[in-house]
Every structure is written in C-alpha cells, then in structure tokens.
Amino acid sequence: MRIQINLASEPFRRDRPMLVASTACGVVLLALLGVLVFLIVSERGRQTETRAAVAKLNSELRTISAEQAKLDGTLHQPMNAEVLERSLLLNSLIQRKSISWTKLYADIEGVKPDNVRLIQVRLPQVNSRNEVTLDMEVGAKDQGPVIEFLKRLQDSPLFGPTNLSRQSPPTQNEPLWRFRVMVSYAQKL
C-alpha cells in the first residue's frame, strides 16, 4: 500500500482553467461596458436633438395659441356675438347637409344581404373630427343574416367597427328580430 504525502508548503492546485475562464469573462464584461457607454453617449446626443425639436414646437404652439386667443377675443366682442352665433349655426347646418342620404343608402345596400331589412336610420352624428356615426335599426327573420350583415359592415372600407347596442326577439305584432347597430361611416364630407 502506497500513501501519497505532499510535504510542500503550498500544495499543487489546478487554478489555470479558473484563471483563463475568469479572464475571458472579464474581457466580455469589459466589451459590454464599452458598448453600453457608447449607447449612452449616442442616446444623450439624440436626447438633445429631441429636446430642441420639442422646444421649437412648443414655441410655435405658444405663437399659434396667442393668435387664436386674439382672434377669439375679437369674435367674442359684443358687437360680433350675433355674427359668431349665425356663423356657428350655418356651419353646423352645412355640415349636416353635407351627408348625402342617397350615397348613404347606396353604400348600405352594397353590403346588406337580401334577407336583412333596413328598418330605420337615425340622423347621422358628426363629431369634431368630422367622423360620421350611423345609428340604424335592422331586422331579419332569424339572427344569422344580421350577423352576416355586421361582418360585411366591418370588412367594408366605407364602414368601421360595429356596435350592437340592442336586440329584440320577434313578437306577435313584429315577426322580425330587430337589432340596433351603431357604425362609423367614412363618407367624405
């Protein structure tokens, strides 16, 4: 039997692989630090450009707001109040009259299945961004054709997403399923 005894003051250890791996990790981390420093410096340059652009836009906004306030002050003077009210009334009437009912019905007929009946179309609503919203009531003998109609409305480039707000089943007086549908309409005003 042979027993190994190491009488050296520092026993032999295999440290070389650990030192090589640590050096390699250190080099990789140093390279990543260099990349991060580069990204931070370049982002700081872009940030100053963005701040300058925002400052320029804010100054333009202040100028335009000051002009708008000056014009509003002129319009709201007592001697101009009647002209302002009349102008607002005429603009709202022109905006409502700009919706062509003939074109509206033709567009609805283009997407409506034959077995769906258009019962009622309420006065289209126009919001401040000139988007038209239709509120209409449709009917059918069963629900399948109306679902097909809603799919066609959503797939059409003239109509937007639909909102089914109410449905009522057939009664003795009304043999049709009735659905109230809200849909955005893309008619040029």
First to last CA, the chain: 105
Which has the minimum average pLDDT: 1-15, 43-57, 138-152?
Answer: 1-15
Question: Of 56, 98, 61, 60, which Cα lies nearest the Cα of 189?
Answer: 98
pLDDT bin (cut points 50, 70, 90) of residue 32 is: very high
pLDDT band at 11 (very low <50, low <70, confident <90, very high): low
State the Cα–Cα distance between residues 110 and 30, nearest whole angstrom.
66
Asked if 133 contacts 120 with a C-beta cutoff of 8 angstroms, the reply is no
At 98, the amino acid letter reads S
Check residue 173 and report its DSSP letter. S
Give burial (CB, 10 Å; 0-12/13-18/19+) of 180: middle
What integer pLDDT is reported at residue 12 of this predicted model? Answer: 66
The CA R_g of the chain, rounded to the nearest whole Å, is: 36
Q: Cβ neighbours of residue 96 under 8 Å, at least 6 residues apart?
A: 123, 126
